[in-house]
Amino acid sequence: MNHFPFDPTLWLLVIPAASALFLAFLRDWRLAARINVLACFLSFCLSLSLLAVPRAEPGRYLMVDDLNIVFLVLNAFVGFTTSLFSAGYIQHEVEIGRLTPRLLRFYHAMYQFLLFGMTLALLANNIGVLWASVETATLTTVLMVGIYRTAEAIEASWKYMMLSSVAIALALFGTTLTYVAARQTVGEGAEAMRWSSLFTHAATLDPPLLSLAFLFVLLGYGTKVGLFPLHAWLPDAHAEGPTPISAVLSGLLLNVALYSVIRFKMLLAGNPHVLSPGPILITMGLATVLFAAFMLYRRRDIKRLFGYSSIEHMGIITFAFGLGNPLANFAGLLHMALHSLTKSGIFFMVGHISQAKGSQKIADIRGLTESHPFLGWGLLAGTLAIIGMPPFGIFLSEFLIVSSGFSRHPWIILLFLLGLLVAFSGLVLRVSGMAFGKPTGRQEPIHVIPLPFLIHILAVVTAGIFLPHAVVGWFRQTAQLLR
């Protein structure tokens, strides 16, 4: 891959990295918010340009293929819309004194640095660079979760860091084992760490070592996905950090961690003598769905509620990729994209609701459709979308997942449907109480920017009514790679 000054791949990294450095020294937080939006918009435009240019050969450290381009476009789009939401959100946080201009310099710089880390992880043609990039993005979010400096935020950040440290070690050990499994046939040095070389020689890699490597990689990156029983950091991180970071965590970072697992799964698929990752992913995905679904009934905090919903949906996506047939892979990709759009949109609403009510406690939030109609009906629409009600697109992706597995795994699919039904009931029960009834509690003035949520919910509705042929062809082609 020859990098020249206008190579979009290189500029996808340069823009967030340079923006992070610049924003770290910019004192005017209002201007910083605008520059943050501009940088994200440029990154989104560059990601779209990758769809139009011919695929270059994988380079020494970077590559673009049909799989990572799905994640790149999705990440850039949600990163852009979240930056729009963030501009209005932080204005209120400054007004009530929760964030200071100095902290906002850190916030905006870390936002761009987080996008840089995730983009590098997706573009990496090197398993070591992938590991370092995912850990960079993770540690960035650890710092951002604790930005409010409250005891609860610091505790959540500390728990996140401790579990991430374990995950870092497990993923690194799995990465090292992959290198050891490859070096005898691929060669010493960086060549044995390049995805392009590993896929070419997959059939000749040491099967026991490669199988063991996948287990450690799954445990390491699976912690960052939020799979049961490695999920404990996720609800607290969602609850205590700024809501834009909750949106990015649910909509983007979990996907990047899952992307890492998928890449290693693809590597195993090229070797007939290794363990089959499908049953492991099905088991972990199903356990995650069932656990998270029942935990929804016990939530008392609105951000924790939707944090557990994110755990459930990452379980759904993992389950789909575990089934592994072309239809399930297509449905998994579609569900991942729709979940990112829907859940980040929900967090846009949740962030403004917690500001308007001065609380994240579900008991303090009542009658939103009357007191704040846009927020109330928006939360209701987002909830209907995330539980898979038609005409929203998640109904389609969940239907395809069930259809793809029912003939071979009917009893497993019935358990999967039970998890969906329990989650459906839990979210409806919680959200209906917040949306309807007599308004209670505080009524703070807030700065709502409705456009990001409206864009997301419109996209999810459109996918449910008519999925464009270009998207179908794109995702179908990508699904063929996953095996």
2-26 tens-digit pLDDT: 444 567 889 999 999 999 999 999 9
What pLDDT is stored for residue 426 in this prediction?
92
Position 88 in a domain: no
- When pLDDT is averaged across residues 246-252 and rounded to a whole number, the result is 86
Structural domains in the chain (count): 1
Q: What residues make up the domain containing 344? A: 276-483
- When pLDDT is averaged across residues 254-261 and rounded to a whole number, the result is 93
Position 154 in a domain: no
Position 451 in a domain: yes
| Residue type at position 24 | A
What pLDDT is stored for residue 82 in this prediction?
95
Q: What is the greatest pairwise CA distance in the chain?
A: 69
Over 70: is that where the pLDDT of 59 sits? yes
What pLDDT is stored for residue 6 in this prediction?
65
Instruction: Summarize pLDDT for 86-119 with one digit per residue, the tens.
Output: 998 888 888 888 888 889 999 999 999 999 999 9
pTM: 0.93
Q: How confident is the model at residue 232 (pLDDT cuts 50, 70, 90)?
A: confident
More confident residue, 359 or 131: 131
Cα–Cα distance measured from residue 257 to residue 360, given in angstroms and rounded to the nearest whole number: 28
Percent with pLDDT over 90 in the chain: 59
Position 92 in a domain: no
More confident residue, 296 or 6: 296
Over 80: is that where the pLDDT of 1 sits? no
Over 80: is that where the pLDDT of 445 sits? no
Over 80: is that where the pLDDT of 139 sits? yes
Position 480 in a domain: yes
Cα–Cα distance measured from residue 135 to residue 145, given in angstroms and rounded to the nearest whole number: 15
Position 96 in a domain: no
What pLDDT is stored for residue 2 in this prediction?
47
- When pLDDT is averaged across residues 284-298 and rounded to a whole number, the result is 94
What pLDDT is stored for residue 4 in this prediction?
46
What pLDDT is stored for residue 133 in this prediction?
94
Check: CB of residue 149 under 8 Å from CB of residue 172.
no
Using alpha carbons, list the distances in angstroms from residue 221 to 118, 255, 257: 13, 10, 5
Chain-wide mean pLDDT for the chain? 90
- When pLDDT is averaged across residues 353-368 and rounded to a whole number, the result is 88
Position 67 in a domain: no
What length is written for the chain? Answer: 483
Q: If 0-12 CB within 10 Å is exposed, 13-18 middle and 19+ buried, where does residue 196 land?
A: middle
Cα–Cα distance measured from residue 153 to residue 144, given in angstroms and rounded to the nearest whole number: 9
Cα–Cα distance measured from residue 139 to residue 141, given in angstroms and rounded to the nearest whole number: 5
Check: CB of residue 237 under 8 Å from CB of residue 138.
no
- When pLDDT is averaged across residues 407-426 and rounded to a whole number, the result is 93
Check: CB of residue 302 under 8 Å from CB of residue 349.
no
Question: Which among 37-46, 52-61, 293-302, 436-445 has the top mean pLDDT?
Answer: 37-46
Position 329 in a domain: yes
